[in-house]
A and B are shown apart, each in its own frame.
Chain A
Amino acid sequence: MTTQTSAGGRTRAPAAPAPQRRRHDDRTAWTFLIPFLVLYLLFVIGPTVYAFILSLFNGSLVKPGLGSWAGLGNYAEAVESSEFWSSLWHTIYFTILTTPPLVVLAFLFALLADRAVRGRAFFRVAFFLPYVLPSAVMALIWIWIYTPALGLAEGWLSAIGITAPTWLGDPNWAMPSVAMATVWWTLGFNFVLYLAGLQDIPRELYEAAAIDGAGPVQQIFRITIPLLGRTTTLVVVLQVIASLKIFDQIYLMTSGGPNFSTIPSLEYIYDQSFTNMRIGYGSAVSMLLFVVILAVSFVWFGIVRRQESGV
């Protein structure tokens, strides 16, 4: 990547025909902007506003129009609904189950890979290949692995004498099973991020530390981890935000079951809007989830700001 100039650094336009120039630029600029802006308004901003409006009514998927006025009724219903809160909890539970392994393991593997002089391409393929698989492919493979009696998971556990749970069919094990599959699936992305960050740390630092008598482990804790602070923050935040929007794996592997025990917020929205056909209520729930995601993003923003000023 080339060096970056500061964002505001633009050369000043020649002073001469300034007003005319600016007007001409105006027209050209808008010509360039219009295609994007039209689609943006039609398919991003417009729908967001419409979603908010929908949330104030009792709309039905199969009836035209907005439906009867609900005011804040849908929001109240969501907040009072145990299903809403349990789906939020499931989302958080999923985040808790996946984020630590996805950060720590990826970091660990990147560390090890950094030390490996050869074969880095092999490791990259091994860990990153799952990431390019579409979620439906990943889900089919893991559903097969988790199949009772016939699946590899039970096969391996039985071989060492442990009775396997029914994985996706057991309310206690369903979410951890999905989490394990997710870790396999997406670790590669963080691995690549960490590896790049690691390779950017100048060798001299390790050199100097080694001369001072620090062993490899100490070097990791004193040099590597602090210097990767930015990367780690990025990895964690990306992970958390992606987890808040989780849908694919759970929908595909457990359909939110067994008995609604794994359903995450986004699938709850899908169920309410498209199975129960209550698009007003579904929109209200999606707005609430929006607020949660915004809050998390702002927290990240704050942390990054503090990190930048701290360094």
Chain B
Amino acid sequence: MLAGTGLALGGCGTLGAGITGTPVAPGTVTFWDLFGGGDGVRMADMLTKFQQGHPELGFQHVTLAWGNPYYTKLSLATLGDQPPDVGVSHASRLSTFVGSNLLQELTPDVLAKHGLTPDKFSEKAMQAVTVNGKQYAVPLDTHPFVLFYNTDICKKAGLLDADGNLKSMDGPDTFVQALTAAQKQGGAQYGGVVAITNETSTNWRFFQSLYSQLGGQMLADDGTKVVVDEAKALKVLNYLRDLTVTKKLMPPNVDYPGAIALFASGKAGFYIQGEWEISTFQTAKMPFSMTLFPNVFGGDKYAVQADSHTLVVPARGNDPTRTEHALTFIRSILDQSLTWAKGGHIPAWLPVANSTEYKQLKPQSNYAAAAAGAVYDPPAWYSGSGSNFEIITGSAIATVRAGQASPEAALKGMIANLQTYAKTPSPV
């Protein structure tokens, strides 16, 4: 009965909104994210806690498909004057959003009211959310590329130290030796597995981690110049190709879910992916741990590809009440950073990142240092997580790893495609 009346009243509200373009339910906080899978479940828990803590605020949550579909819809919604109150944005996408005038600036005084001051976040995180000296987002986490390892296989292969932690994998030969050991002595079908087929982001991240360890850059001047160091790029591509095609330490044609399945069933000693897959393997109840992506080429300068999730307030007039509610929500989410960290992410919120509970979280705290060496995608209007930049680079790299194209040919194609975008006048 009550539901029916509620429905009817809600219907009238919608009708009115549909005709006049007014907000549907003032006093509601709307939140859009792109978190599916394990992340989605964890976020759902955090959202429930938020609602319990703030019963006076209505709440509406929508999850959209990761990548371009999410970002396109967020842009369209903001242009359509009815964006959500809070959205998620990868740090790598912020410059494009800001350039498009789609985000509301978060001024220091407003942030301070909710305790979201710069000292509560790591320096790298603050850098990531500041564009042209102004802050446009609140950092939530850093999610780097990490190394998963099967503890049983590595033990058999003699790769664990006295404490049961993985010995150092630093250096190109050491890493290859470790993979070989896992395959031979560890008894695994493959030394390691990293997704290749129908996957662009993974391939890009694998390449970028190694390439930036060599100090290589991809783009300059906001993406208008392609500055790929071909020698370094070829070094990385050949190294990658060796792993799959020449030395056969990794399968040359496995997709994202396939790679997970191989590692989870103990057929591969190592698995490389973003840290978010921790939940998958915990659920599979397999013997594993995680650590930093190996410092293969970096020497004393560690680097690894990463991105950050940030929370943004899409522009919609400059309603102080709306901003107030948005930041209340954001603060509530940050307070639950430990829950979020359990999903593998490195919290940007220092009160949690520096806490004993987080430091005791294993294996998450093993790779906390990755945040300091994080290399974000180069800023450009066509770049960012899941963007065309990643699709171009990722698919070229995939062809090399799958043995379908030579490194030289793939690199040539990649650079040419990037040049096309570099030459295109930016729409922001």
Contacts and interface: CB of A to CB of B under 8 A. Distances in A.
- A–B contact with Cβ pairs below 8 Å: the answer is yes
Interface of A: 58-63, 67-68, 77, 81, 148, 166, 169-171, 255, 257-260, 271, 274-279, 281
A148 B260 CA distance: 15
Contact of A277 (B75, B198, B200, B395): B75
Contacts of B198: 166, 169-171, 257-259
A291 B342 CA distance: 55
A258 B425 CA distance: 27
A58 B425 contact: yes
B75 A62 contact: yes
A254 to B, nearest CB: 11
Given A60-B428, A61-B100, A67-B427, 11 more contacts: A58-B425, A58-B427, A61-B75, A62-B75, A62-B102, A63-B100, A171-B198, A274-B76, A277-B428, A278-B427, A279-B427
A68 B424 CA distance: 12
Contacts of A276: 382, 388, 427
Nearest to B198: A258
A62 B425 contact: no
Contact of A259 (B68, B69, B101, B200): B200
Contact of B391 (A62, A260, A281): A260
B126 interface: no
A257 B255 CA distance: 14
A275 B391 contact: no
A62 B315 CA distance: 12
Contacts of B75: 61-62, 274, 277
A255 B69 contact: yes
Interface string B55-97: 0000000000100110110011001000000000000000000
B380 to A, nearest CB: 12
Nearest to A68: B425
Contacts of A257: 198
Contacts of B76: 274
Nearest to A59: B427
A58 B428 CA distance: 11
B420 interface: yes
B329 to A, nearest CB: 25
Nearest to B394: A259
A274 B72 contact: yes
Nearest to B71: A275
Contacts of A58: 425, 427
B382 A62 contact: no
Contacts of A260: 391
28 contacts: A58-B427, A60-B427, A60-B428, A61-B75, A61-B79, A62-B75, A62-B79, A62-B101, A62-B427, A63-B100, A63-B427, A67-B427, A68-B425, A166-B255, A169-B198, A170-B198, A171-B198, A258-B198, A259-B200, A260-B391, A274-B72, A274-B75, A275-B68, A275-B71, A277-B75, A277-B381, A279-B427, A281-B424
Contact of B100 (A62, A68, A259, A279): A62
A277 B100 contact: yes
A259 B427 contact: no
A169 B100 contact: no
A266 to B, nearest CB: 15
Contacts of A259: 198, 200, 391, 395
A278 B388 CA distance: 14
A258 B67 CA distance: 13
Top 7 closest pairs, chain A to chain B, by CB: A60-B427, A62-B100, A277-B427, A258-B198, A275-B72, A278-B427, A259-B395
A258 B200 CA distance: 10
B100 to A, nearest CB: 4
Contacts of B388: 276
B242 to A, nearest CB: 24
Interface in B398-428: 420, 424-425, 427-428
Contacts of A62: 75, 79, 100-102, 427-428
